[in-house]
């Protein structure tokens, strides 16, 4: 007979008292109840987290949406920026007169291998910080760049106007050429004609 079988034979004749049996059963029942409670709690938390995020994802169709601060028409304002998976964006903001505006743009860029890739959030924010030339309904031509709002209506000569813009926060200078047909170009080193 092996040692294991000898121990089994020796202790098989022993029986626990009734009180000890009840205590063991009670502890086993408590353990089962605790496991059930923990499982139910974990399930409820999981449903809240995943259900809530799933609903937010479904409501937003997988786009990235956040509040950003941007310069619009010479005023810094909070805007809602929504970026889709294809690199396009929609920017919604309220101007100083309380009118809500929506702008969009974005698209594709090329990686170092020449493949088209969606614009990143950083590239989209760079687009939003570029100078802008807007002709109003009354024919005034305005240049907007960060906190600057410059009326260039009377500065056109031979169909174009040159404007040097400097970002006060960074010291970066931009050379803008506006054309009387509504187009414009800019560069960080020289005017483009």
- For 105-154, the pLDDT digits (tens) are 877 888 899 898 888 888 888 888 889 898 988 989 999 998 899 999 99
User: Looking at the predicted structure, is the pLDDT value of residue 36 above 50?
Assistant: yes
pLDDT in tens, 43-95: 666 666 555 544 444 344 556 678 888 887 777 888 888 888 887 888 898 88
Task: Please say whether the beta carbons of 152 and 142 come within 8 A.
Answer: yes
Q: What is the pLDDT of residue 41?
A: 65
Taking the whole predicted model, whether its pTM rises above 0.85 is answered as no
> Which residues make Cβ contacts (< 8 Å) with residue 175, sequence separation at least 6?
162, 163, 164, 165, 186, 187, 188, 189, 190, 191, 192
DSSP 153: G
Question: Given this model, what pLDDT does residue 30 score?
Answer: 67
**Predicted local confidence at residue 158, as pLDDT:** 92
Q: Is the pLDDT of residue 104 over 60?
A: yes
pLDDT at 39: 67
More confident position, 152 or 21: 152
Q: Looking at residue 178, what is its pLDDT?
A: 92
């Amino acid at each position: 007979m092996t040692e294991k079988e000898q121990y089994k034979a020796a202790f098989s004749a022993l029986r626990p008292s009734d009180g000890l049996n009840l205590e063991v059963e009670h502890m086993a029942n408590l353990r089962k109840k605790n496991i059930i409670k923990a499982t139910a709690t974990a399930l409820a938390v999981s449903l809240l987290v995943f259900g809530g995020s799933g609903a937010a994802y479904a409501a937003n169709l997988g786009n990235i949406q956040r509040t950003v601060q941007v310069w619009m028409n010479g005023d810094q304002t909070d805007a809602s920026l929504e970026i889709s998976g294809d690199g396009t964006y929609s920017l919604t903001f309220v101007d100083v007169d309380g009118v809500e505006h929506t702008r969009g743009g974005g698209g594709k860029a090329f990686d170092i291998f020449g493949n088209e890739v969606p614009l990143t959030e950083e590239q989209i924010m760079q687009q939003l910080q570029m100078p802008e030339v807007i002709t109003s309904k009354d024919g005034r031509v305005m240049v907007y760049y960060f906190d600057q709002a410059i009326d260039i209506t009377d500065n056109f000569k031979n169909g174009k106007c040159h404007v040097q813009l400097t970002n006060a926060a960074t010291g970066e200078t931009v050379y803008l050429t506006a054309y009387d047909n509504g187009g414009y170009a800019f560069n960080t080193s020289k005017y483009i004609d």
